[in-house]
Amino acid sequence: MFINVLLVGIGGFFGAISRYWISGKFNKKGDLKFPYGTLIVNLVGAFLLGLITASSLSASWQVLLGTGFMGAFTTFSTFKLENIQMHLKRQRNVLIAYLAASYIGGIILAFLGMMISVNY
């Protein structure tokens, strides 16, 4: 049990740093025209989580990478906050595009990741 907590913590540490770095590269401060950084981490995260969960990795690697790294790398809370901000700023078209890209793209990429992992 303790080892799993440690693995989640280690994975989460590196996942959070990776998300922070990528989001910082693509999201412009104070400019919410389109949150590319959040979209990128969530879509990449969906794909990688699909790969990880359908792989033959050991349970420890699944906990480290799937629960720890990917749990901290992807961000549902930021995604939802950005949705609310776009709604309040009446950026309806951007909001719809962001929602569609996030949900449809995320499901497709997770499925693609799983199919790739199962077939290799």
- Known binding-site residues equal 71, 74
Instruction: Give me the count of residues in the chain.
Output: 120
Q: Where do runs of H (alpha helix) occur along the chain? A: 2-26, 36-54, 59-61, 70-73, 76-88, 92-119
Contacts of 1 (CB under 8 A, 6+ apart): none
CA atoms within 13 A on the CB side of 60: 6
CA distance 55 to 79: 27
Q: Which residue numbers belong to the known binding site for Na(+)?
A: 71, 74
